[in-house]
Amino acid sequence: MSKMDTPIKFDAPGKKKFMLHNIQELYGNKLAARDGAIGHVQDFYFDDKTWVIRYLVADTGSWLSGRRVLISPHAFGNVDQEKKTLHVNLHKKQIEDSPSIESHKPVSRQYEVEYYRYYGWPAYWNGGAMWGLGGYPVVLPPSREEVEADQPRHHHRDDKHLQSTHAVAGYQIETVDGTIGHVSGFLVDEKSWAIRKLVVEAGHWYAGKEILIPPSKVERISYEESKVFVKLTKADIERTAENDVVKARAEKQGAKHC
């Protein structure tokens, strides 16, 4: 059974190749700031409406003991697969002085406004694109007018759509006609950090194979039931699963030879 543990290269028509990583394989990776180590990857928070990673949750160990640190993809550098390290384009002092968030509370929009203002990044909730004004987390400072206009709209509204990838892994996949297995991972695009596929470990009905399901087929996530409901039947999945798995394996083999 394929573990989807090797980065996969995909070609988009007219565009450069982009890499997909299984988010599960990044857990525990070291985090390297511009001036030293800052801990390791503990979790990721994703937006369950737009299906994109919004924050990395860092375990800073004894450096910032007892504090939860969030890092936006705006600061992500390259992923070093050999050294299992994710580079962060920030200095340790910047991270240390960033807005603190209590570990037992969800990420509120009030916190996000303060966080984005601190780093000077454009807010992803302003604009109609995945990252606000564009499809990627680029570092372009917002205008004074944008910052001021944002405050009355979002300052006191909690964002209920940020969820933990670690928590959702293990959720059962519920099709139109029954359960087929559980979420075992998420394939993310390293450029936009969008979730392109859910990796599903099928049950005995499909020989325990791994299946790739696009977020567009997800109807809803029930956090109370720990289930992901998809707009597919078992027959739909049987017709497409083999093609997806074969394609993924072929792309993996191609990536190894690049």
pLDDT exceeds 50 at position 13: no
pLDDT exceeds 60 at position 142: no
Q: What does the pLDDT look like over 147-206, one tens digit per residue?
A: 454 444 433 344 568 999 999 999 999 999 999 899 999 999 989 999 999 999 987 767
pLDDT exceeds 50 at position 12: no
Name the H helices within 132-185: 144-154, 165-168
Asked if 85 and 30 count as a contact pair (C-beta separation under 8 A), the reply is: yes
Spatial CA neighbour of 89 closest among 143, 52, 131, 139: 139
* Mean of per-residue pLDDT scores for the chain: 82
The pLDDT value given to residue 143: 52
Q: Which long-range contacts (CB under 8 A, 24 or more apart) does 118-125 make?
A: 119/72, 119/74, 119/75, 119/94, 121/72, 121/74, 122/146, 123/150, 123/154, 124/54, 125/150, 125/154, 125/159
Spatial CA neighbour of 136 closest among 256, 13, 258, 16: 16
Rounded to an integer, the average pLDDT of 227-239 is 90
Asked if 44 and 53 count as a contact pair (C-beta separation under 8 A), the reply is: yes
The CATH topology of domain 19-163 is Photosynthetic Reaction Center; Chain H, domain 2 (3.90.50)
> Which CATH number is correct for 165-256, 3.40.50.300, 2.30.30.240, 3.40.50.720, 3.10.20.30?
2.30.30.240
Rounded to an integer, the average pLDDT of 93-111 is 87
The pLDDT value given to residue 66: 77
* pTM assigned to the model: 0.80
Domains 19-163 and 165-256 share a fold: no
What residue segments make up the domains of the chain, in order of their start?
19-163, 165-256
The burial class, CB within 10 Å (0-12 / 13-18 / 19+), for 90 is buried
- 189/163 Cα distance (integer angstroms): 18
The pLDDT value given to residue 106: 83
The pLDDT value given to residue 146: 47
The pLDDT value given to residue 67: 84
**Triad 29, 12, 73: Cα angle to 5°:** 35
Tokens representing 250? 């072929």
- The letter for the amino acid at 159 is D
